[in-house]
Structure 1
Amino acid sequence: MKRNTILSISALLLTAQLSFTNAQTKQTEQLNPIVQNFVNEAHNNSQLESMAHDLLDGIGPRLIGTPEMLAANNWTADKMKSWGIEAELQQFGTWKGWQRGITHVDMVYPRVKSLVATQLAWSPATKKAVEAEVVIMPKVSSKAEFDKWLPSAKGKVILMAQYQKIGRSEEQIKEFATPELYEKLKAEKDQATKDFREYVKKIGYDNNSLPEALENAGVAGIAISNWTGIMGANRIFGAKTKKIPMFDIELEDYGMLYRMAESGMKPRIKLETQSKILPDAPSFNTVGIIKGKEKPNEYVILSAHLDSWDGAQGATDNGTGVLTMLETIRILKKYYPNNKRTIIVGLWGSEEQGLNGSRAFVADHPEIMKGTQAVFNQDNGTGRVIDISGQGFVNSYDYIGKWLNAAPKNIKDQIKSTFPGMPGGGGSDHASFVAAGVPGFSLSSLNWGYFGYTWHTTKDTYDKIIFDEVKNNVILTATLAYMASEDPEFTNREKREMPVNEKGEVAKWPEFKEPLRSSKDYK
């Protein structure tokens, strides 16, 4: 999932806060019998944990272009077929092929210590173990001075990221420091960040061109530490090199090397990475379908992205969303055999590179878009759903409220939202549909530390899943899909009048963007 880039103009939002509560609910809740079956199945016969084990432990992270991503496509399709659901892989493009191997990084001088390190996605390998001195970038004030230094970096491992003096989270510092000390440490950290940004600007490079310059100078490798601000969690994205390894080192190991290099101790590391550059690989969406019995040309779509970054297991981004939609379609197939509208599960590829799988589905299936009743997307962690925005559709309150009213009280009472809300601009796959004028809704969950702790990090692992929360999300999603399918009316797609910002500019509805169908177009 990407951070939402939605244009938000809170001061002028013409919205009303809605709390989905039912004051008339009796002490003993009487649910629709089909919804009651959803509840019973989700709690008494859940397949979530066994599927999570297969997907996250067995297959692991699902970086686009890797054999693991293809394995996940096949596994999800086979799983749905085992439940009697039609499923297929729909190719939408190709991506550069790559497969992770071992990453071993050990300090061998001035003492021996194994370091916590992760090779970045698509990074070249070392082919064989390399031993080299670790150095920091020089304290210079111009590009000319930096370029003069570059030849001396040949054969060395360069520490390219900012040094972090304190590795405690801001929340922890605020909890234990005096107010005066907190403000002092915060100011020092802010200044250090500003100084590093100004340094990179002075030497005339950026995050893309600097690795290229170092690689061209013949360095042995490039190390970074992309710390989240949470102890032990680093973000893992893609390498910016073509021939030499680029890797991330956990904060304190990185800091230790930095201090040693800065003080003249000349630390050395032994580096071995055994990843494989593979031929370009086809990119797929996994699509499952249960044809409607009365309105087969109208659709309810269950949406989640299957791909992930590969610093960990991709458990909460977006393993939990995938598990939610798989368990939902399993339960719908079992307890809702006479679905009025066609129900589709879309497990998208290459979301992390720009919503490419879902954008391709929208572009390639105009007939489905014309008949889509609603899209329900889940993609922000393991927590219970607490928000369903109207995404800018004027009448979304009417139908979302009606559908949600059928959900168990303990679930719907957790949810507050804004209607009509603002259209999603690209944070996750619902935005692909919204941009095309299709009612796509994000089932936004309580984050459980998502953005700071597990989003794209080395800590996005199976143990972070709270299965009781996911079970409730399954019940909610199944209920919404059932109600949307049964609704005698087709959803109204009228868009809201967009507000004016503080500059007097009228906000625009997001434009639909064509998907990237090749890694050659990815920057």
Structure 2
Amino acid sequence: MKYLFLVFLMNLLSQYAGKPLRRDGSYPKSFEDIKNEIAGYTDIAKAIIDLAVHGKAQNRSYERLAVFADTIGPRLSGSKNLDAAIKYMFSALQKDGLENVHLEPVKVPHWERGEEFAMMLEPRNQSIAILGLGNSVATPPEGITAEVIVVASFDELHKRAQEAKGKIVVYNEPFISYGETVQYRVRGAVEAAKVGAVASLIRSITSFSIHSPHTGGQSYQPDVPQIPTACISVEDAEMMSRMAFRGTKIVVHLKMGAKTYPDSPSFNTVAEIVGSKYPEQIVLVSGHLDSWDVGQGAMDDGGGAFISWEALSLIKDLGLRPKRTLRLVLWTGEEQGGIGAKQYYQLHKENISNFDIVMESDEGTFKPSGLGFTGSAKAREIVKEIMTLLLPINATDVYDNADGTDIDYWMRDGVPGASLHNDISKYFWFHHSQGDMMTVQDPNQMNLCAAVWTVVSYVIADMEEMLPR
């Protein structure tokens, strides 16, 4: 009998060889156990979906966002509007009954576009719609009047370098994808300056346009002269391209009054539902509160910020308290490269082992299909299983790689990350333009996005074990 017991004990120990004990002295669960645990959340997931999509919380995230966007407007880094937005959200989160509502100070860039004006003088007079790019320098007070050279790529610019000297470079690059084409916005001024151009005008990074320029960030290089740079509409870029192809001389007058000020004080805005069992462990949901200074920033990223708030509200409304702390962070300075998120990461990275997953919604809140996920193969299998709980709203897919400027810092260090995956077919029509208004948002689609965000964050926060790294 003793011999049989020893054989049984040795077999048991061999199963867990090299596996760390959990804090309660037991061993990690098998995947089958985890599947069963996740299946146990079916009723809670249904309750969340019902409340968000059909119940008393229906359209709440949309209505909250509409009041916010209509009251505050666009929220550029360093602006009074952004200050007002942070104060507004701090008060709103407190009124919502969330816990540990507080502001964490950061420094953010402060750039203002000032007066902007462009006019084609030859072959005829026509106003050119422009939006200066972030961090652009100004023109001289009298403006710049110069002949235009139109190119379709950096390669063409370099081949025609001698022609570009003293001219305004107009890029009429074809839209392939945002990730590929945005290099013209980011590097356009630098590449033009390298060949002696006096300014650059970039075709807006969008697949569709109604004569609307799109702004965004751009970067200078220390060893290259800084020249004024702006985006123009697709229509104006194509018009000048046709004129140039016919050999027509084009002259443009450009005036930009942009100014860069010292970095301004700002805040990341934080609220929580404190965990019941492992409060030091964190599931982070987020969106960014800042925007560009055009439109209302309703889509980028009002929608993502407000479904992240909604996740905590829905959980609170249902009387749920997950084992881990569910933390909402509304980032600041995202549009300038994740400035606020970087400072948050530097402040909190010493506790990185306690971050279970970091989630960011920053690519619209249109009809959701699932999540983008970055993490280990084991963690991915668990997330796939969690997504089956969203079968009632057909948002069960898990795609490769989470996307989010603000959560990249954590994912690079091995923390699992997730981003909302939704129908972005029209996202870049409105992105960084005057068209980013509440009209773009759909309350029914926001309800579905909020349901996805809440089910995923709650289940991960409440499971007994953290996601494997």
TM-score (norm 1): 0.65
Q: How does 1:13-162 map to 2 (within 5 A)?
A: 33=47, 36-41=50-55, 43-44=57-58, 46-55=60-69, 57-85=70-98, 86-92=100-106, 94-107=107-120, 111-126=124-139, 128=141, 130=143, 132-136=145-149, 146=161, 150=165, 153=166, 158-162=168-172
Return the match for 1:415 from 390, 393, 396.
396
Matched, 1:230 2:211: no
Cα distance change on mapping 1:363 and 1:278 into 2, 3 Å = closer
Distance 1:106 1:475, change over 3 A: same
- Give matches, 1:187-198, under 5 Å: none
Residues 212 and 292 of structure 1: is their aligned pair in 2 closer, same or farther, counting only changes over 3 Å? same
Contact 1:65–1:283, Cα closer than 8 Å, also in 2: yes
In structure 1, how many angstroms separate the alpha carbons of the residues matched to 2:170 and 2:459? 53
| Partner SS for 2:374 | coil
Instruction: Give, in whole Å, the separation in 2 of the partners of 1:371 and 1:257.
Output: 55
Q: Are positions 1:300 and 2:283 aligned together?
A: yes
Q: Percent identity?
A: 26
Change (3 A) 1:325 1:369: same
Higher helix proportion (structure 1 or 2):
2
Q: 1:312, 1:461 within 8 Å by CA — same for their partners in 2?
A: yes
Give the distance between the partners of 1:144 and 1:441, measured in 2 at CA: 42
Equivalent of 1:439, from 385, 392, 416?
Answer: 416
Q: For this pair of structures, how many residues does the alignment match?
A: 414
Cα distance in 2 for partners of 1:480, 1:88 equals: 24
Q: 1:458 to 1:294 in 2, by over 3 A?
A: same
- The residue aligned with 1:497 is none
Give the distance between the partners of 1:118 and 1:60, measured in 2 at CA: 17
2:451 alignment partner, SS class: helix
- When residues 470 and 88 of structure 1 are mapped into structure 2, their CA distance, relative to the original with a 3 A threshold, is same
Q: Alignment partner of 2:326: what SS?
A: strand
Contact 2:62 2:442 in 1 (8 A): no
SS at match of 1:253: helix
Q: Which residue among 420, 441, 463 is the counterpart of 1:465? A: 441
Quick one: higher RCO (CA 8 Å, sep 6+), 1 or 2? 1
Contact 1:129–1:270 (8 Å) recurs in 2:
no
Letter in 1 for 2:105: Q
Indicate how the Cα distance of structure 1 residues 332 and 235 shifts in structure 2: closer, same or farther if over 3 A, else same: same
Check whether the contact 1:129–1:273 (CA below 8 A) recurs between aligned residues: no
> What is the CA distance between 1:403 and its match in structure 2?
4.3
For 2:169 and 2:148, locate their aligned partners in 1 and report how far apart those are by CA, in whole Å.
6
The CA distance in 2 between the partners of 1:149 and 1:30, in whole Å, is 63
Q: Which moved more, 1:251-260 or 1:281-290?
A: 251-260
Indicate the SS of the match to 2:279. strand
Q: Answer yes or no: is the 8 Å Cα contact 1:384–1:469 preserved in 2.
A: yes
Counterpart check, 1:490 vs 2:465: yes
Deviation at 1:325, TM superposition (A): 0.8
Measured at CA, do residues 129 and 311 of structure 1 come closer, stay the same or move farther in structure 2, by a change above 3 Å? Answer: farther
Q: What residue is the counterpart of 1:176 in the other structure?
A: none
| Alpha-carbon shift at residue 474 of structure 1 (Å) | 0.9
CA distance in 1, matches of 2:149, 2:45: 64
Deviations along 1:144-185, one digit per CA (max 9) or x if unpaired, are 9956973xx3xxx61331377xxxx99xxxxxxxxxxxxxxx
> Alpha carbons of 1:117 and 1:42: their partners in 2 closer, same or farther (altered >3 Å)?
farther
| Residues 387, 402 of structure 1: alpha-carbon distance in 2 compared, 3 angstrom cutoff | closer
Question: What residue in structure 1 maps to residue 347 of structure 2?
Answer: 364
Deviations 1:238-297 (A, max 9, x none): 356787632222133234445556767655555443444322223532222232344322
- Which amino acid counterpart does residue 439 of structure 2 have in structure 1? D
Partners of 2:60 and 2:105 lie apart in 1 by: 31
> Following superposition, which runs of at least 4 residues in structure 1 exceed 6 angstroms of deviation?
140-145, 261-265
8 Å CA contact retained: 1:38, 1:478 = no
* TM-score under structure 2 length normalisation: 0.72
**Cα drift, residue 331 of structure 1:** 2.8
Q: Cα RMSD over matched residues?
A: 4.2
Query: Closer, same or farther in 2 for the Cα pair 1:84/1:370, shift >3 Å?
Result: same
Give the distance between the partners of 1:396 and 1:145, measured in 2 at CA: 51
Q: Quote the residue 2:34 is aligned against.
A: none
Q: What is the SS of the residue equivalent to 1:96?
A: strand
Alignment-mate amino acid for residue 465 of structure 2: F
Alpha-carbon separation, structure 1, partners of 2:125 and 2:337: 42
Task: Give CA deviations for 1:397-428 in whole Å, capped at 9, x if unaligned.
Answer: 56435644555x432x332236xxx665x654
- Secondary structure of 1:395's match? helix
Whichever residue aligns with residue 348 of structure 1, its letter is W
Change (3 A) 1:39 1:341: farther
> Counterpart amino acid of 1:464?
V
Give the whole-Å Cα distance in 1 for the aligned partners of 2:452 and 2:229: 43
Counterpart amino acid of residue 379 in structure 1: D
Match of 2:383 among 380, 389, 400: 400
DSSP 3-state at the match of 1:237: coil
